[in-house]
Amino acid sequence: MQAVYLPVALAVVVVVWVLFAFALGRYRASRRDGPAPTRDRPVLELAIAALLAAIVAALVVVTFGANARETENDDPVRFRVDALAYKWGWQFTYPSLPGAMDRTTRTRPPILHVPAGTTVEVVLRTQDVTHAFWVPAVKFKSDAWTGAVHRFRLVFPPGDHLSGHCAQYCGLRHSDMTFTVHAMGAAEFRAWAARASGRPA
Amino acid sequence: MSVAAPARPPFAPLQGVAGTLFGTDHKAVAVRTFVLAFGFFLGGGVLALLMRTELMAPGMQVTSRTGYDEMFSMHGSTMIYLFVTPVALALGTYFVPLQVGAAEIAAPRVNLLGFWLYALGGLIVWLSWFPRNGAAQAAWTGEYPFSDSTSLPGTGMDMWIVGVSLATVGAILWAGCQLATIVARRAPGMTLLRMPVFTWAMLATCLMTVASFPSLLGAMGGLLLDRHGVEVFPGAGGAAAYQHLFWFYGHPVVYTMFFPFVGVALEILATFSRRRVFGYRGVALSLLAFAALSSAVWGHHMFTTGEVSNLYFSLTSHMLAVPAGMEYVAAIGTLIGGALVLRAPMLFAVGFFVQFLIGGLTGIYVASPPLDYHVHDSYFVVAHLHYTLFAGSVFGLFAAVYYWWPKVTGIMLGERLGRLQFWLLAIGTNVTFFPMFLVGYDGMPRRVADYAASAGWTGTNLIETIGSYVIALGMLAFAVNVVTSWLAARPAGPDPWGAQTLEWATSSPPPRHNFERALPPIRSAEPLMDLRGVPEASR
Amino acid sequence: MRGRSAALLVAAWGLLNLALATLMFAFTTDLMSHVVYWLAVAFVFAMAVPAWFARDPPRRRLPEASAGTVALAAGLAFLALGAALGIWGVFVGLAGVLIGLVLLAMERWVR
């Protein structure tokens, strides 16, 4: 997405700024006898409008495609996480690992354990107001919506310290409502899962 | 050029306390709105500087977490409800009647009522600092259910709701008066297609304002009831209903804070290019399309809620690029072929278009759900909205201030301090807000009082803070300019710029009923250029 | 007469809104989205009606100042504040509104 939108935006910036710079440099009153009378060019205007509409249409097509890939992702889920947001912290549990649980404590943010490189389903709830689950490394967030359950599928890159935040302002300790994602390779994840389910909290 | 009348205070002819409080002249009402709104601007700006100082480094330096929450809530509320929206509409309150050749605004008492509701509303919002539990802390959006009486007990939040509602009723009344003036008070010969570009912009603004602002009153009324024991927004659907009502207002208000400045900036470009505006009909048409689309895009603030059709709102939000692009076509087409004079109003008008572009294009970013899922509620959005409202609207506002100051006060603002202000603001603005795109994309959420030293955002935040002090210096230059030029009192005369529209055909400041002599014949959108024999545009 | 062209313009703008609101049916059945939007669209068309019938106001002297308007504004503000401050705010507000209306009536008829 960024790969499409950024070049388009940069191209527009360059074209518009160059036109302004050209006009400001070339048409100073001090360097000319006087202004030329204004002459509208409806055909040119319509052509530019059509060009803009075409760019917009292309971007909309790209966006709709990417949106469908993200929200209608039906890859088989390898692992499921139940995430609960509350004022002010997170609790992570795993339906396949009944004993494993981590939640925000006074001294440290919780750790979310997931396998890397495979499809993970997050089931997100809130206990009170609206929060939002955001992991910048996967460029995705979803609100933890009052009275609703949000499900989404993510593929995490490997990393033992991916940062996560509550993105929806929720009051006093919103700034501190962070978490860490450990996205592990297959072997490491199996070892963690065995340890986590073997020793119920 | 005729000898200018000596500078008179703009409250004439009814002076003193009674004139200030009760006077119905639309010009005096607009000036009062400006003075008051700039007071709120100062207050909101001080809050911004305090917040930037807090964020300069990790850890808490200036305030507590609660203090920070109050600060950003009051900063956003002040800037949107009490500063930019009122000044944007007040430009029209002053100049729409003049530009259409009317002796008075329609329904002057309703207009006055609008001012007082705004003034009292603003006062109530700012008095909310004093009750126990402090000022409102639910951002400028009053996000439900966070804003309910469980999460935010206390009178401060209630006062915020009341104050915001009153100011909004005021805005609706102002917009209604301007619409009625455009509909029924145009001078003979002033057909719709001879209205100045600024008046067209105000027409689009006011249509949008009147159609969308009542929705905020619904949200505020519901919230107030909800806080006092009536369950108005139950469950998931209730929280969504609040956001629908809020954002149905909350997106159009952004354009209420934008179109008037597009209008005046285009007039300034034309005046200081010494020619008529390019693509007049295209401008009028695209403003109307822009205004209509603005009511169809509110859901793009709700992409991450799972409660709206992301595809519909993404489609309509992308479509905004077309009318927005046409305003740029008009701007560039006006400059190319002109004879440009880079006076202070022109600098700010060019700065408005050049900088707003970044805000506009990043708006297309957040119109795309897959990109928005990442940047929503991050500092990327903070950067985006400040590029539209500060790098855009505030530059447009200062363009208007430098352009119309001589008309309103009868005296000129200083040119050199104006240039200094422009360059300080331009540097400060970009140093402050551009890095926010980068930290936001990197993962810094908005509305945080603190961030971890390990996050790697410390240097960027320090740069932003330094930028914000440069902005403050720019504002100081403006204050000095106002004082020194007031003392110097260089008379402006009726038309210091060689401008185009009817407000320049009367004295500066204009008399109580706007025009003492007969209006010049109105045969185009630029009657003063007709008088000077500038060739007509071939449209 | 001047109102006619403006009324048509408002109605045309209403049609633009109507088209966009109609387009939304292709995307969602969410009731709240449609209700909010259609209320606003209806309001736009309603605005065109008074514009159509607008005509030149009778030439009359308008007051230079209107204390009644300011009293009315203060009354309305206190009425709304009653919710935050308590019932006394409502009483003060009612008094303000009453005084405002009386003053406005005097401005209109005593002149």
ipTM entry: 0.95
Alpha carbons C66 and B110: distance in angstroms, whole number = 10
| Residue A134 · residue A127 · CB < 8 Å | no
Per-residue pLDDT tens digits for B320-347: 999 999 999 999 999 999 999 999 999 9
What's the confidence (pLDDT) of residue B134?
84
The token duo for B334 is 């006006």
pLDDT of residue B23 exceeding 70, the answer is: yes
Nearest residue in chain B measured CA to CA from C84: B158
What residues of B are in contact with residue C64 (Cβ under 8 Å)?
13-14, 23-25, 512
* Position C97 pLDDT exceeds 80: yes
Grade residue B6 by pLDDT with cuts at 50, 70 and 90. Answer: very low
Report d(CA C26, CA C19) in Å as an integer.
Answer: 12
- CB contacts of A162 in chain B (<8 Å) are none
Question: How close does chain B come to A99, measured CA to CA in Å?
Answer: 30
What is the reported pLDDT for B285? 96
Answer yes or no: do B373 and A176 touch at CB < 8 A: no
Chain C residues in contact with B155 (beta carbon < 8 A): 84-85
Q: Does A160 touch chain B (CB under 8 A)?
A: no
Comparison of pLDDT for B533 and B269, the residue scoring more:
B269
Q: How far is B241 from chain C (nearest CA, A)?
A: 6
Contact B309 C32 (CB under 8 A): no
The one-letter code for the residue type at A33 is: D
d(CA B498, CA B300): 43
Which residues does chain A have with pLDDT short of 70?
A: 199-201
Does the distance separating the beta carbons of C84 and B161 come in below 8 Å?
Answer: yes
Tell me what pLDDT residue A199 has.
56
For an interface test with B, give the residue of C31, C79, C81 to mutate (most B CBs within 10 A). Answer: C81
Note the pLDDT tens digit of each residue in B106-115: 999 999 999 9
Pairing status of strand A131-135 against strand A119-126: unpaired
pLDDT at B19 over 70: yes
- Residue B3 is predicted with a pLDDT of 40
Q: Percentage of chain B with pLDDT > 90?
A: 90
- The 10s digit of each residue's pLDDT in C70-90 is 999 999 999 999 978 889 999
pLDDT by residue (tens digit) across B464-523? 999 999 999 999 999 999 999 999 999 999 999 999 999 999 999 999 899 998 999 999
Contact of chains C and A by CB distance (3 or more pairs under 8 angstroms): no
- A with B: how many residue pairs have Cβ under 8 Å apart? 239
| Interface contact B318-A17, CB threshold 8 A | no
* Of the candidate ranges A113-117, B16-20, B265-269, the one whose mean pLDDT is the lowest: B16-20
Interface test with B, best of A18, A26, A63, A172 (most B CBs within 10 A): A63
Euclidean distance between CA atoms A141 and A5, whole angstroms: 19
- The DSSP call for residue B186 is P
Nearest to B275 among A17, A37, A146 (CB): A37
The residue that leads in pLDDT, A99 or B201, is: B201
* Residue carrying the six token digits 């297609």: B193
Mean pLDDT over B15-27 rounds to 83
pLDDT value at position B335? 97
Q: How many residues does chain C have?
A: 111
Which residues between 16 and 35 in chain C have a beta carbon less than 8 angstroms from any beta carbon of chain B? 16-17, 20-21, 23-24, 26-28, 30, 32-33
Q: Where are the alpha helices (DSSP H) in A27-126?
A: 42-71
Measure the CA–CA gap between B438 and B430, rounded to whole angstroms: 13
At C59 the pLDDT is 64
pLDDT at A19: 97
A9 lies within 8 A of chain B by CB: yes
Lowest-confidence segment of B7-16, B63-72, B84-93, B195-204 by average pLDDT:
B7-16
Flag if A129 and B362 touch (Cβ within 8 Å): no
Find the CB nearest B235 among A13, A19, A147: A147
Question: What residues form DSSP beta bridges with A159?
Answer: A183
How many CB atoms sit inside 10 A of residue A48's CB? Answer: 19
Instruction: State the average pLDDT for chain B.
Output: 94
Is A38 in contact with B283 (CB distance < 8 Å)?
A: no
Amino acid at B65: R
Confidence grade of residue B535 (pLDDT, cut at 50, 70, 90): confident
Please spell the DSSP secondary structure of B138-168, one letter per residue.
Answer: STTTT-TTTTSTTTS-SHHHHHHHHHHHHHH
Chain B residues near residue A136 by CB distance under 8 angstroms: 374, 442-443
CA pair distance A59, A53, nearest whole angstrom: 10
The minimum CA-CA distance between A45 and chain B, rounded to whole Å, is 7
CA distances from C31 to B70, B244, B523 (A): 34, 11, 49
Lowest mean pLDDT of A137-141, B192-196, B390-394, C61-65, name the range: C61-65
Q: Check whether B142 has a pLDDT greater than 70.
A: yes
Residue B251 has pLDDT above 60, yes or no: yes
pLDDT > 60? residue B451: yes
Contacting chains of A (3 CB pairs or more, <8 Å) are B
